Chain A
């Protein structure tokens, strides 16, 4: 017997994501899903964002990690309300995991919530978590051709942060070519060149977040 289903595999996730988004909108909090490969400096970027600008907007972070809580600890020290999710080997966060973490998150008392996804450029792009915007983070140490190799995640993102600009002199990363590739993938994408270590470019990134929060 043949049974025709036509059933969407991600439907359960999409429903849960829509519920998350409803909660975010009710609480008036802007939610940013950060996606990158491991080691791009997402946590340091958030640390700097909180340290330098946390007096202005109240920030929180849901931190997805395969096993540890090191990143979450660093972010709470920087003044963010944090909840850790350990995926125990799963390569991405899904809407259900985020919904669970939200139970521990005082959403109404914050303006901006980051979801730090598991380090991986492929899988996280496929799962809607209910966020308002995805941001791809890459570092100059990873090579200029990252966007050309993984266009999917950049196509889904509203902004790109090119981090570790302090290392530019020590790598063969070509900013001009990378920007051109990103523009080929998606026009009008906000792009920031930052060094989370020195603080370079963090103000521009923050300005963008602030404007997004107000609209």
Chain B
């Protein structure tokens, strides 16, 4: 359940920023999560609900935007999302790839008054 510690980090960052901006009540938080991290949306929601109780984020919506894993083939330079466990290039079957996206894990924005 690393979702709990991720959400704890998220709340620390959001609440610090909210108090810097004179915001008293947060209504939504948008989080971008790469597929590479294997986090479960339900577990994020659960952690968010539990950890925001009695804070300025209580009752806020957690908006999760998932980013699929995209690899770039170092042989033919094609970009593709791996199917299943294999990371072999869909186009030329080569193995040498680099991660283009799917490793994001950041707070995009939050809203509040």
Instruction: Using CB atoms and an 8 Å cutoff, list the residues of chain A in contact with chain B.
Output: 1-10, 12, 90-92, 94, 122-123, 125-127, 147-152, 155, 181, 183-187
Contacts and interface: CB of A to CB of B under 8 A. Distances in A.
Interface residues of B, number: 34
Contacts of B87: 151, 155, 184-186
Given A9-B13, A123-B2, 5 more contacts: A2-B111, A5-B14, A5-B110, A151-B85, A185-B86
A6 B2 contact: no
A9 B105 contact: yes
A153 to B, nearest CB: 9
Given A5-B108, A5-B109, A12-B9, A185 B1 contact: no
A1 B112 contact: yes
Given A3-B23, A126-B37, A9 B84 contact: no
Interface of B: 1-2, 4-6, 9-10, 13-14, 17-18, 21, 23, 31, 36-38, 82, 84-88, 95-96, 105-113
A184 B111 contact: no
- B-side interface mostly: mixed
A55 to B, nearest CB: 38
Contacts of A148: 84-85
Contacts of B96: 187
Contact of B113 (A1, A7, A150): A1
Given A1-B112, A151-B85, A185-B86, A122 B38 contact: yes
B108 A123 contact: no
A166 to B, nearest CB: 27
A4 B109 contact: yes
